[in-house]
Amino acid sequence: MLENFYELKTELHKRGIFFCFSGPISQELMVGVGDTLRNKMKLDEANSSTIIKVFSMFVEQAQNIIHYSAEKTPQDQCCAELSSGIIGVGYENGHYYVLCGNVIENEGVDGLCEQLTKLQQMDKDELKRYYKEQRKKKAPNSSKGAGLGFIELARKSVTPIEFDVQKIDEKSSFFSLKTEI
């Protein structure tokens, strides 16, 4: 197992990923990681606007894992519910990027893919108009936020958002998302 761990580190480095976390994600973890990301990017001499955008995308994608991951540890008397996923931040071709992934239930896959494909095809002006339209609407029952997270990510990303869904079994799939800053 230990030699495979080195292979994982080597693979992450080849892909430009300088931060990666896999496991249960909490609000407290996001705060600590956010501080670490800001410090790392300051050392890299990233401008403050870029640091804010990366942090914002990191938080939004971590929130998606917290709210929508099908892998959850139940809440008990001592501990809050935790959602599991994987999130990474990297740098390649002159841009930072944020990746996230988590298990989702298959019943939501078609709607999710339809929504994200629609966002991929919009330009910045269309995304801005669509965001304003959606803000006026009531959030869907299935949404734990205002239903605007993916639109906000698409607006901030310098390239169209990328996503993938890999079927695991009859009940669940693995959802991955990438945004570039």
Work out the pLDDT band at 141, boundaries 50, 70, 90.
Answer: low
Q: What is the pLDDT of residues 163-175, one digit of tens each?
A: 999 999 999 999 9
Amino acid letter, 106:
N
pLDDT tens figures, 47-88: 999 999 999 999 999 999 999 999 998 777 677 788 999 999
Give the CATH number of domain 2-180.
3.30.565.10
Question: Would you list the domain boundaries of the chain?
Answer: 2-180
Q: How far apart are CA 166 and CA 171, in angstroms?
A: 12
